[in-house]
Structure 1
Amino acid sequence: MTYVVTDNCIKCKYTDCVEVCPVDCFYEGENMLVINPDECIDCGVCEPECPADAIRPDTEPGLEKWIELNTEYSEKWPNITIKKDPLPEAAEFDGQAGKLGKYFSSEPGSGD
């Protein structure tokens, strides 16, 4: 089992999860984070820290596309290990459904 970042992180990018991760397995895109499933040790400390409830265990049904997305982009985006401010529009986009097709950016973030 591993954890994955899902739809609700897009356009929010809260980084509270990054701060508690003991193995630094988060990677930063322009408008969301992902978890490298090969680095994640399944400790679960990140899940309750996400204000947007965007981190889920990969054992939940229907997360196949998110497992693939996290795997792919954790190999392309820079590692992030320190907490940053969320995106300015985070409160507006928190909880919106269907953000992947509308707002996802494959561009990398700045990393640490």
Structure 2
Amino acid sequence: MAFVITSPCKDEKAAECVETCPVDCIVEGDDMFYIDPDICIDCGACEAVCPVEAIYPEEEVPEDEEKYIQLNRDFFK
């Protein structure tokens, strides 16, 4: 399980999550940040500091945001 960044991050890119991540698994894309599921250690530090509440544990991503699970994975392929 990894954390997933969802649509509220789109065009927001506040970056508190990047600064907080102890394993540097969050990377900036063109319009939002993405979490590398292979590096994420599931600590939850990013979720706690996200000002737009865009970050969820993978199994708790709202149904209408589930496409972001694959978008985060695909970003790192």
What is the TM-score normalised by the length of structure 1? 0.63
On the 8 A contact 1:26/1:74 being kept in 2, the answer is: no
Aligned counterparts of 2:59 and 2:5: Cα–Cα separation in 1: 13
SS at 2:39's partner residue? coil
Query: Among the aligned pairs, what percent are the same residue?
Result: 51
1:73 shift after superposition = 1.0
- Greater per-residue strand proportion: 2
* Larger-gyration structure (1/2): 1
1:27 shift after superposition = 1.3
- Greater per-residue helix proportion: 2
Aligned counterparts of 2:76 and 2:33: Cα–Cα separation in 1: 9
Question: Can you list the C-alpha shifts for 1:18-67, whole angstroms capped at 9, x where unaligned?
Answer: 01101100111121000011110000011011101111111115253111
Give the AA of the match of 1:71: R
Q: How many residues of Structure 1 are paired with residues of Structure 2 in the alignment?
A: 75
Which deviates further from its counterpart, 32-41 or 54-63? 54-63
Task: Point out where structure 1 has 5 or more consecutive residues left out of the alignment.
Answer: 76-112
Instruction: Write the mapping of 1:1-112 to structure 2, written as runs, cut at 5 A.
Output: 1-60=1-60, 61-62=62-63, 63-75=65-77
On the 8 A contact 1:27/1:74 being kept in 2, the answer is: no
What's the RMSD between the two structures over aligned residues?
1.2
1:11 shift after superposition = 0.9
Task: Point out where structure 2 has 5 or more consecutive residues left out of the alignment.
Answer: none
Q: Which runs of 4+ in 1 moved over 4 A?
A: none
Give the AA of the match of 1:73: F
SS at 2:45's partner residue? coil
Give the AA of the match of 1:12: E
